[in-house]
């Protein structure tokens, strides 16, 4: 039985998947005749049988000095002297050769084993692979995973990444904690509203708004000069000064007793009494020519003369007043009439 007959039978047994053979000795050769005379159907040790997709032309014939697509250093060393990546045979120093053109599986198209850092994204194993550009501060980290906030690797746009989701430590949302970032930094900030509005309930210093902090708290304070001077144009209660608040405003008020009593030494206009200015003020009884409407006749036994305000502005001087008729007198000089006769006693009379 010829080798071709045996191979034809084997091909028929393999079915339509296709097969081809590369006989080392052709039919008709003397060696072939001798070989086939003692060969049965199971003796195919010197046959090269290949199953799979058939190749076309003479390139499939081993021994034609052409390394065909189905041939390798292992199957046909006389045709293939060098390893050929992509033929499906692991040759020489090739780590792998899966015979396909899929570059993202476990064996790359360069017949190297897929690995992080080779610049090829290994499907199902890697999220990214930028080759030498992998690493800290890059879009793809050294483990071929996309850099993300909280992964513990410093990625693009991040100033820190401590690998946790604690927004109150010194790294919040992968940015170094600072006042105004909207996260209250524990041990450093009391509040942080994440805005640049200095007049709300949390100042731009990340402190709760308070009288004396120098920022006018909207709808809560009328003023805030940031000092503890109570007599300037903003009180220590962060209110505008007014007469009657009990605080003497420097350069504006002479006094401020905090009440509405006008004759107690400090007027309701916050003016203090000044004796000698011819104006009755506060607790003064009179002041110079201002006798508060009084005259000698307003006092017992006096009928005329000149009423005077004493030097203290607290009482009247009646020494220049004369006594009316009928008033006790010691001399005529005391009487307005000038006559002090004895009328059952010294009395002023006409």
What is the per-residue pLDDT across 172-231, written as a single tens digit (0 to 9) for each?
A: 999 999 999 999 999 999 999 999 999 999 999 999 999 999 999 999 999 999 999 999
Q: What is the DSSP string of 170-190?
A: SEETTEE--TTSSS--TTT-S
Determine, yes or no, domain membership for 93: no
pLDDT at 21 over 80: no
pLDDT at 31 over 80: no
Supply the pLDDT for residue 66.
80
299: closest CA among 278, 314, 272, 320? Answer: 320
Determine, yes or no, domain membership for 71: no
What is the per-residue pLDDT across 296-307, written as a single tens digit (0 to 9) for each?
A: 999 989 999 999
Determine, yes or no, domain membership for 312: yes
pLDDT greater at residue 315 or residue 10: 315
Supply the pLDDT for residue 57.
58
The residue assigned the tokens 């030498």 is: 132
pLDDT greater at residue 277 or residue 282: 277
CA quadruple 243, 245, 246, 249: dihedral, nearest 10? -50
pLDDT at 324 over 90: yes
pLDDT at 52 over 50: no
pLDDT bracket for residue 58 (50, 70, 90): low
Determine, yes or no, domain membership for 335: yes
Determine, yes or no, domain membership for 109: no
Alpha helices in the chain (DSSP H): 3-14, 30-37
> Which residues, 6+ apart, have CB-to-CB distance to 258 below 8 Å?
244, 245, 246
Contact 66, 59 (CB under 8 A): yes
DSSP 98: -
Determine, yes or no, domain membership for 129: no
Q: Which domain holds residue 213?
A: 182-240
61: closest CA among 93, 30, 25, 21? Answer: 21
pLDDT at 110 over 80: yes
Q: How many domains does the chain have?
A: 3
Determine, yes or no, domain membership for 131: no
pLDDT bracket for residue 73 (50, 70, 90): confident
**Helix, strand or coil, per DSSP, at residue 197:** coil
pLDDT bracket for residue 86 (50, 70, 90): confident
pTM over 0.75: no
Supply the pLDDT for residue 126.
97
Determine, yes or no, domain membership for 128: no
DSSP 57: G
Q: What are the angstrom distances between the C-alpha of 274 and each of 58, 136, 282, 313?
A: 133, 81, 9, 9
The residue assigned the tokens 């350069």 is: 251
């Amino acid at each position: 039985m010829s080798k071709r007959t045996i191979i034809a039978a084997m091909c028929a047994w393999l079915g339509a998947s296709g097969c081809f053979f590369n006989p080392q000795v052709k039919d008709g050769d003397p060696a072939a005749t001798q070989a086939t005379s003692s060969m049965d159907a199971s003796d195919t040790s010197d046959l090269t049988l290949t199953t799979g997709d058939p190749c076309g032309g003479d390139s499939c014939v081993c021994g034609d000095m052409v390394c065909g697509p189905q041939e390798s250093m292992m199957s046909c060393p006389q045709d293939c002297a060098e390893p050929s990546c992509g033929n499906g045979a692991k040759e020489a120093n090739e780590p792998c050769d899966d015979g396909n053109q899929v570059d993202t599986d476990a064996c790359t198209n360069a017949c190297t084993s897929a690995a992080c850092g080779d610049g090829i994204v290994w499907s199902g194993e890697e999220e990214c692979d930028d080759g030498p550009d992998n690493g800290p501060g890059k879009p793809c980290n050294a483990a071929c995973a996309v850099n993300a906030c909280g992964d513990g690797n410093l990625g693009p746009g991040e100033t820190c990444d401590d690998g946790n989701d604690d927004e109150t430590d010194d790294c919040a949302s992968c940015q170094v904690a600072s006042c105004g970032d909207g996260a209250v930094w524990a041990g450093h900030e009391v509040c942080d509203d994440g805005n640049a509005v200095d007049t709300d309930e949390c100042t731009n210093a990340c402190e709760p708004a308070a009288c004396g902090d120098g920022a006018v708290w909207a709808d809560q304070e009328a003023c805030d000069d940031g000092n503890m001077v109570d007599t300037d144009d903003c009180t220590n209660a962060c209110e505008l000064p007014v007469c009657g608040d009990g605080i003497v405003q420097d350069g504006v008020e002479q006094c401020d007793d905090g009440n509405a009593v006008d004759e107690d030494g400090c007027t309701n206009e916050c003016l203090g009494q000044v004796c000698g200015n011819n104006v009755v003020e506060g607790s003064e009884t009179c002041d110079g020519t201002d006798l508060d409407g009084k005259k000698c006749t307003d006092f017992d036994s006096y009928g005329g003369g000149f009423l005077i305000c004493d030097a203290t502005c607290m009482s009247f001087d009646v020494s220049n007043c004369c006594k009316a008729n009928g008033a006790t007198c010691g001399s005529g000089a005391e009487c307005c009439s000038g006559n002090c006769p004895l009328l059952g006693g010294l009395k002023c009379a006409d």
